[in-house]
Amino acid sequence: MSKEIREGLKHTSTLVVEERHLARTVGSGDLRVLATPMMMALMENAAMLAVADELEDGQSTVGGFISSSHLKPTGEGHTVTATAELVAAEGRKLKFKVSASDESGVIGEGEHLRFIIDKEKFMKKVGA
């Protein structure tokens, strides 16, 4: 890896809550509200995209850890944004502060850890 990834990189990802994002649909609950795993996936997406342009050809990032609160429910049809900010870059290890909001304010916040990987080597580990 020849590029140095700098702290402070940020990205915000957005989704409009649909049936496929609901706790009842994904199996994490039985209510028609945004599923916690879907909120966390949006946070991961924001972190991935925050550093994507800084990677070398053939590299990507994979999630290694995520911890988040889920403070308020969000119903179908509402818009959720997740923001990730790179707070530490230590070689291949990238640490992010993540948060998610809807029209009512913050609905979740936490920490996310990603690792820079070589795509080809990584996929060989799964037999693809």
- As annotated, the active-site residues are 36, 44, 70
Handedness of CA 67, 44, 73, 12 (dihedral sign): positive
62: number of Cβ within 10 Å: 13
Alpha carbon 128 to chain centroid distance?
Answer: 24
Our CA angle for 89, 91, 94, nearest 5°, is 35
Rg (CA), the chain: 16
